[in-house]
Structure 1
Amino acid sequence: MASDVETSLSDAERERLEALRAATRLSDLVELTDADDVEAAYFAAKEEWATLRDRELPPATPSQELPGDEVRFDGRRYVVHGVTHADTDAEREFLREHVSRFVDDGHEVYCEQGVRPMYFADMPDVCAMDDYRWALLRADDRDPDSPLAQAAAEFEGLREDVDDAASKFREAAFSLIHSGEDVYGEAFAEALGDVASSFLTDHEDAATGKDFEAFATSRRAAEDPTRLGELQRYYKTTFLPQPVEREWLRRHDPDLEAVSHARNERMADYVVHHAEDVETVHLVVGAAHQPGVRYYLERHRDGHRDVSGFELVE
């Protein structure tokens, strides 16, 4: 969906961005970029997408409001709020203040399944979706012997754990670089982080936003939630259209696709199925999920999805 914000994009650049936005398969990117193969096309498209989206989107400025993306259809307003879910006191206080106001105003509030026990455990009007359960069952159906499927049997209280030694080392390295921001400044840390990202991220990380910029932006927002808009903007400029990112990730790690982008589809379906006769519904999800959840809500809005076969995962 094109932005209504005044931008510095030329007509040709707008047309190019819309062509990228319309991509639904990796093969579409090959045609758009004239690349030799899917891998080259994917990374070329991501670079071009980031540049164009950065110019299309307005700058993110600190705000006391909880930012979100709005999608309207069937007489209802859905607002998707991306958060860090880093479990900081600052973010907890910030979110609870806003969500309490939403509830007082008669709005419905749904949240990513792992977010509710972290921030809203004592707020009965905040409903957790079933996205983790759904994702784990998908993995079980595909390969009952996979580590992710085996974890489904012990799901109670579980948040997905897809970290391995490499990802833990990456987080430690990013933490060290981030800790130097106060001394050397954000620009220096970002330059060093870019170098580290080139060595410490892989093909799967490209589709899930695991580079230093994501790490540092998330840390800053967790410590100062008025900067959540910066984190949301990062993922909007980083992720290509949802079907393309999902296809890329399925090719490299199907289990990771199940617990990451696939859940965006489930969360959108969940709220459309469950939303009662209210004018406004809020979804509180990890910021990396926000673009995908919005995408699937727009698919509902445009008549390309329905929830006729929806079944709750117990």
Structure 2
Amino acid sequence: MASDTDDRSSSALNPEERRWLDRVRAATSLSQLREITGADSDHEAYVQTKPTWEQLRGRKLGDPAPADGLPGDRVVVEGQPFSVHGITHADTDAERAFLREHVREFLRADESVHCEQGVRPMYFEDFERVTEIDDYRWAMHHSRQLDLSSHVDGLIEETFDEEESGVTGNISSAASRFRDVAYSLIDSGADVYGNTFASALGDAASTFLMDHEHLATGEDFTSHELSKAAAEDPSKLPALQQYYKRAFLPQPLEREWLRRHDHELELFTHARNERIAAWALYHADGSRPVHLIVGAAHQPGVVYYLEAYRENRWDYGEFEFVP
């Protein structure tokens, strides 16, 4: 089942470390982060903060506990629980069976279930009460409005079924496909060279294969390995979810960093977290529990915006309907 997101009572950190984490959590711009770190540039502030944040967040969160039910994070907004469940969406039989079992229970209890765009046709096409969010369509709409130099515009029609609003392909770049192949080759070499060597080689490959954009989207060897394991054994989803909770800085920092390097990629990654949260809040029906099923990399960002809404730090304003 989903757990509450408040981990501020952790005693795993000393007072100075807790203050540092709190200051970074409160930062809303890279310039503020530079003041915290004393770095010479916004770039250096971001790069220097990532490993320290990951280490301290990991200690604060502790080891992921085995899940009783569908794992995730719960944010209660004005008495209504919103549970965000990060998955691999790798289209495996194991994940499909696992998700369908738990979603049936949610629906029997008259709870709402919404999916990141593309997940419903993959796992829940015959579940009429499971709805699909329009996050990819929203990102495409804004990319066109901003007249950005697009990596994916030519793939839009073949990627999305305009009538069903479902993903029929993917928008992976050639670089992403190359990384997947490289990581798979490294993983297969573990049988010959051993797990320690393969892991070290994977970390090195992450360094060379990841550019500035991918530093902010969490596409590294660790996430590749955790996702692959969870896709075949959903009991390992908590470890994948925990990884992304450690890996990502607060949303304003990740979004500003990525937007500076590739505005379109920012729209199609972190910005969709804001849209998913806004969509869920706008469509919330009364006070019954809401479940959001999203890719694991989106879970921390969606939780960030739900918490920010609850604490009056963010509001989606007038809900935007996408043509």
Q: TM-score, normalised by structure 1?
A: 0.94
2:212 pairs with one of 194, 203, 209: 203
Aligned pairs (5 A) from 1:86-165: 86-143=90-147, 146-154=150-158, 155-156=160-161, 157-158=166-167, 160-164=170-174
Aligned pairs (5 A) from 1:1-314: 3-4=7-8, 6-63=10-67, 65-143=69-147, 146-154=150-158, 155-156=160-161, 157-158=166-167, 160-164=170-174, 166-181=175-190, 186-314=195-323
Q: CA deviation at 1:273?
A: 0.4
- The alpha-carbon distance between structure 1 residues 200 and 270, as it changes in their structure 2 partners (threshold 3 A), is same
Q: Matched residues in 2 for 1:151 and 1:46: separation?
A: 33
* Number of residues of Structure 1 aligned to a counterpart in Structure 2: 313
Q: CA deviation at 1:3?
A: 1.2
Given that 1:2 and 1:18 are in contact with CA atoms closer than 8 Å, whether structure 2 keeps it comes out as no
- The alpha-carbon distance between structure 1 residues 201 and 308, as it changes in their structure 2 partners (threshold 3 A), is closer
Q: Matched residues in 1 for 2:196 and 2:108: separation?
A: 42
Q: Secondary structure at the match of 2:285?
A: coil
Q: CA deviation at 1:280?
A: 0.7
Q: Matched residues in 1 for 2:78 and 2:65: separation?
A: 32
| Matching residue's letter, 2:171 | D
Q: CA deviation at 1:172?
A: 0.7
Given that 2:148 and 2:264 are in contact with CA atoms closer than 8 Å, whether structure 1 keeps it comes out as no
Q: Secondary structure at the match of 1:283?
A: strand
Task: Structure 2: state its 5+ residue gaps.
Answer: none
Q: Matched residues in 2 for 1:263 and 1:279: separation?
A: 24
Q: Matched residues in 2 for 1:293 and 1:282: separation?
A: 12
- Give the aligned CA root-mean-square deviation in angstroms: 1.9
Moved over 6 A (4+): none
Sequence identity of aligned pairs in percent? 52
| Matching residue's letter, 1:243 | P
Deviations 1:31-73 (A, max 9, x none): 1111111111111000110110010012024445211111111
- The alpha-carbon distance between structure 1 residues 231 and 185, as it changes in their structure 2 partners (threshold 3 A), is farther
- The alpha-carbon distance between structure 1 residues 61 and 206, as it changes in their structure 2 partners (threshold 3 A), is same
Deviations 1:230-285 (A, max 9, x none): 00010011000101000011111111111110000000000100010133100000
Deviates more, 1:212-221 or 1:298-307: 298-307
Q: TM-score, normalised by structure 2?
A: 0.91
Q: CA deviation at 1:125?
A: 1.1
Given that 1:207 and 1:245 are in contact with CA atoms closer than 8 Å, whether structure 2 keeps it comes out as yes
Q: Matched residues in 1 for 2:23 and 2:210: separation?
A: 28
Q: Matched residues in 2 for 1:70 and 1:93: separation?
A: 23
Q: Matched residues in 1 for 2:258 and 2:148: separation?
A: 20
| Matching residue's letter, 1:161 | I
Deviates more, 1:100-109 or 1:57-66: 57-66
Q: CA deviation at 1:167?
A: 2.5
Given that 2:70 and 2:85 are in contact with CA atoms closer than 8 Å, whether structure 1 keeps it comes out as yes
Deviates more, 1:138-147 or 1:232-241: 138-147
Q: CA deviation at 1:196?
A: 1.1
Task: Structure 1: state its 5+ residue gaps.
Answer: none
| Matching residue's letter, 2:206 | S
Q: Matched residues in 1 for 2:197 and 2:124: separation?
A: 37
Q: CA deviation at 1:184?
A: 5.5
Q: Matched residues in 1 for 2:132 and 2:221: separation?
A: 29
| Matching residue's letter, 2:207 | S
Given that 1:137 and 1:152 are in contact with CA atoms closer than 8 Å, whether structure 2 keeps it comes out as no
